[in-house]
């Protein structure tokens, strides 16, 4: 029997993406200046970045990176348990743990790696990981790679979570959820989920990549916003690459669990440590995030202004009070059309389509930053209306052509 052709497989997959308007194109940024950037030679106002607090270009953050790089070099040189663990890593872990009120923190190269590490190090073949259906792909992949049983419950449905846990009586159980959901912008019902986890003797793990720095007292995230302790949420994830403007991530929580990860988690053991200079930059960013409350206050004001203006104009929004403000479109091709129109008007907003979001839930993912001005938000809403009108006109013309006899 002839072996299947890998070339035919990838070509079939490519053609399917083209036919369903799901091709993905990488854009090239040649310069950033605050909320503005030059993309493929065109200056755009960026409304699709995760730089929520506007710290990625802050002079203190950049200065810390440059100073550390001049003294310590550009790379991490080895894994943390060989020769890569630097005093700057140690300082950053301690600062993060102090900020988020946990006993320990452990640095990782990315949030994706951190999620793979947590699930793989805690769960095995006979265990179960119960997850929100809209969790980030890294959590889904983590459970699949760990070999445990993966069960998913309807979005933000604690009763659905407890039903899934009740159906899996044997082995260790983990209940995993995003804190702030990256595509919808809403916040998980963490207090209810913590109760579910306690009743079902499950470990509650919260991926708070989009919450830390943005929500909660002093930006401590969704776990702190829900007033939950380490006993209730033994592990949580904080990213360094979103509100903190850098790169990498940290898992924080129970001392014994963090020590277990440090000694057994393959994505920690077998990869190079973050460059010390990057740790220095993130350390400076954490200190700014803790002290400059005006950045979060401005985000709240911008989100409220965007929602009020967008709803008044008839744009379809989801219930989100965070900097993530999805404008629902539904149709993949229409989302791409609106994103292209916005770019012509000078705004960069990403069109998000399946499989990143469920079928029929394509959207424009608007993200706000403390770098934006109120006039920027007002201009974006006006541009969204123009883009919507243009997309609707294009759809009417396409329908007429489709109905016309050949």
Q: What is the pLDDT of residues 80-119, one digit of tens each?
A: 999 999 999 999 999 999 999 999 999 999 999 999 999 9
pLDDT at 399: 66
pLDDT at 193: 98
Whether 252 and 100 have beta carbons less than 8 Å apart is answered as yes
Do 241 and 309 share a structural domain? Answer: no
Average of per-residue pLDDT across 281-299: 97
Task: Report the C-alpha gap between 183 and 323 in whole angstroms.
Answer: 11
Average of per-residue pLDDT across 155-166: 96
Average of per-residue pLDDT across 199-207: 97
Edge-to-edge order in the sheet of strand 29-33? 29-33, 36-39, 42-46, 347-348
Domain boundary, last residue among 273, 291, 309: 291
Do 311 and 277 share a structural domain? Answer: no
CA distances from 92 to 68, 175, 248, 303 (A): 13, 28, 12, 30
Do 250 and 362 share a structural domain? Answer: no
Please check whether residue 18 lies inside any domain of the structure.
no
Average of per-residue pLDDT across 304-308: 97
pLDDT at 170: 82
Average of per-residue pLDDT across 211-226: 97
Whether 48 and 343 have beta carbons less than 8 Å apart is answered as no
HSE on the CB side for 108, CA within 13 Å?
27
pLDDT category at 403 given cuts 50, 70, 90 is: low
Do 199 and 234 share a structural domain? Answer: yes
Q: What is the percent of the chain with per-residue pLDDT over 70, rounded to a whole number?
A: 98
pLDDT at 404: 63
- 252 has pLDDT over 70: yes
Whether 307 and 377 have beta carbons less than 8 Å apart is answered as no
Task: Report the C-alpha gap between 368 and 134 in whole angstroms.
Answer: 21
Average of per-residue pLDDT across 231-243: 98
In three-state form (DSSP H/G/I as H, E/B as E, the rest C), the secondary structure along 164-230 is HHHCCCCCCEEEEEECECCCCCCECCHHHHHHHHHHCCCEEEEECCCCCCCCCHHHCCHHHHCCCCC
pLDDT category at 400 given cuts 50, 70, 90 is: confident
Q: For residue 348, what is the domain's CATH number?
A: 3.90.1150.10
Question: Which of helix, strand or coil describes residue 32?
Answer: strand
Please check whether residue 13 lies inside any domain of the structure.
no
- The H-or-E segment that residue 395 falls in is helix 374-403
Do 107 and 206 share a structural domain? Answer: yes
Please check whether residue 3 lies inside any domain of the structure.
no
Tokens of 183: 């595509």
- 397 has pLDDT over 90: no
Do 148 and 241 share a structural domain? Answer: yes
pLDDT at 1: 74
Own/partner pairs, 302-307, CB within 8 angstroms, 24+ separation: 302/368, 302/372, 302/374, 302/377, 303/368, 305/374, 305/377, 305/378, 306/366, 306/368, 306/377, 306/380, 306/381
CA proximity to 388, closest of 337, 343, 348: 337
Tokens of 90: 């140690």
Task: Report the C-alpha gap between 17 and 19 in whole angstroms.
Answer: 5
- The H-or-E segment that residue 3 falls in is none
Task: Report the C-alpha gap between 279 and 107 in whole angstroms.
Answer: 9
pLDDT at 264: 97
- 169 has pLDDT over 90: no
Do 298 and 247 share a structural domain? Answer: no
pTM of the model: 0.94
Whether 136 and 209 have beta carbons less than 8 Å apart is answered as yes
Do 277 and 311 share a structural domain? Answer: no
Do 167 and 41 share a structural domain? Answer: no
Average of per-residue pLDDT across 314-335: 94
Please check whether residue 215 lies inside any domain of the structure.
yes
- In order, the DSSP letters of 365-394 are EEE--TT--HHHHHHHHHHHHHHHHHHHHH
Provide the 8-state DSSP code for 27: -
Please check whether residue 8 lies inside any domain of the structure.
no
Do 316 and 230 share a structural domain? Answer: no
CB contact set of 266 (below 8 Å; sequence gap of 6+): 116, 117, 120, 121
Report how many domains make up the chain: 2
Which has more pLDDT, 330 or 263?
Answer: 263
pLDDT digits (tens, 9 = 90+) for 342-370: 999 999 999 999 999 999 999 999 999 99
Task: Report the C-alpha gap between 262 and 80 in whole angstroms.
Answer: 9
Residues designated as active site = 182, 210, 242
Domain boundary, last residue among 291, 326, 347: 291
pLDDT category at 405 given cuts 50, 70, 90 is: low
pLDDT category at 390 given cuts 50, 70, 90 is: confident
User: Is 112 assigned to a binding site?
Assistant: yes
pLDDT category at 401 given cuts 50, 70, 90 is: low
Q: For residue 200, what is the domain's CATH number?
A: 3.40.640.10
pLDDT category at 398 given cuts 50, 70, 90 is: low
Domain boundary, last residue among 291, 321, 340: 291
User: Is 111 assigned to a binding site?
Assistant: yes
Average of per-residue pLDDT across 120-136: 96
CA proximity to 51, closest of 183, 247, 243: 243
pLDDT category at 231 given cuts 50, 70, 90 is: very high
Average of per-residue pLDDT across 255-260: 97
Sign of the dihedral defined by the CA atoms of residues 305, 308, 310, 315, in that order: positive
- Give me the domain span that covers residue 316: 23-53+293-403
Do 249 and 264 share a structural domain? Answer: yes
Q: Where are the alpha helices (DSSP H) in 106-186?
A: 111-122, 137-146, 158-166
Burial classification of residue 135, based on how many CB atoms lie within 10 Å of its CB (0-12 exposed, 13-18 middle, 19 or more buried) = buried
Do 308 and 197 share a structural domain? Answer: no
Sign of the dihedral defined by the CA atoms of residues 84, 89, 91, 93, in that order: negative
Task: Report the C-alpha gap between 330 and 364 in whole angstroms.
Answer: 10
HSE on the CB side for 296, CA within 13 Å?
20
User: Is 239 assigned to a binding site?
Assistant: yes
């Amino acid at each position: 029997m002839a072996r299947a052709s890998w070339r035919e497989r990838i070509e079939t997959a490519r053609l399917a993406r083209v036919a369903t308007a799901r091709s993905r194109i990488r854009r090239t940024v040649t310069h950033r200046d605050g909320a503005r950037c030059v993309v493929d030679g065109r200056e755009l106002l960026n409304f699709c970045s995760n730089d929520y607090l506007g710290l990625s270009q802050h002079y203190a953050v950049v200065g810390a990176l440059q100073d550390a790089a001049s003294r310590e070099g550009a790379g991490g040189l080895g894994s943390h348990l060989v020769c890569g663990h630097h005093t700057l890593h140690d300082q950053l872990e301690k600062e993060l743990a102090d900020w988020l009120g946990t006993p320990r923190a452990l640095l990782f190269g990315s949030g994706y790696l951190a999620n793979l590490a947590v699930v793989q190090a805690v769960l095995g073949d006979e265990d179960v990981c119960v997850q929100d259906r809209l969790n980030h792909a890294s959590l889904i992949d983590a459970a699949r790679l760990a070999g445990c049983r993966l069960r998913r419950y309807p979005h933000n449905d604690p009763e659905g979570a407890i039903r899934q846990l009740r159906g899996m009586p044997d082995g260790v159980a983990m209940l995993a959820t995003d804190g702030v959901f990256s595509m919808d912008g809403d916040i998980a019902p963490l207090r209810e989920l913590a109760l579910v986890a306690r009743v079902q003797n499950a470990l509650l793990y919260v991926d708070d990549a989009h919450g830390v720095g943005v929500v909660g007292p002093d930006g401590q995230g969704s776990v702190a916003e829900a007033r939950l302790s380490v006993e209730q949420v033994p592990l949580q994830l904080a990213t360094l690459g979103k509100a903190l403007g850098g790169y990498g991530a940290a898992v924080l929580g129970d001392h014994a669990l963090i020590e277990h990860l440090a000694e057994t988690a393959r994505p920690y053991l077998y990869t190079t440590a973050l460059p010390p200079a990057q740790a220095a930059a993130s350390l400076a960013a954490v200190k700014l995030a803790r002290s400059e409350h005006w950045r979060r206050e401005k985000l709240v004001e911008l989100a409220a202004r965007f929602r009020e203006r967008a709803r008044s104009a008839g744009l379809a929004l989801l219930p989100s009070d965070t900097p993530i403000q999805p404008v629902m479109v539904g149709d993949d091709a229409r989302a791409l059309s609106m994103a292209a129109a916005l770019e012509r008007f000078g705004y960069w907003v990403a069109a998000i389509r399946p499989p990143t979001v469920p079928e029929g839930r394509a959207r424009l993912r608007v993200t706000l930053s403390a770098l934006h001005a109120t006039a920027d938000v007002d201009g974006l809403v006006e541009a969204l209306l123009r883009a919507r009108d243009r997309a609707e006109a294009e759809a009417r013309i396409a329908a007429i052509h489709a109905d016309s006899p050949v």
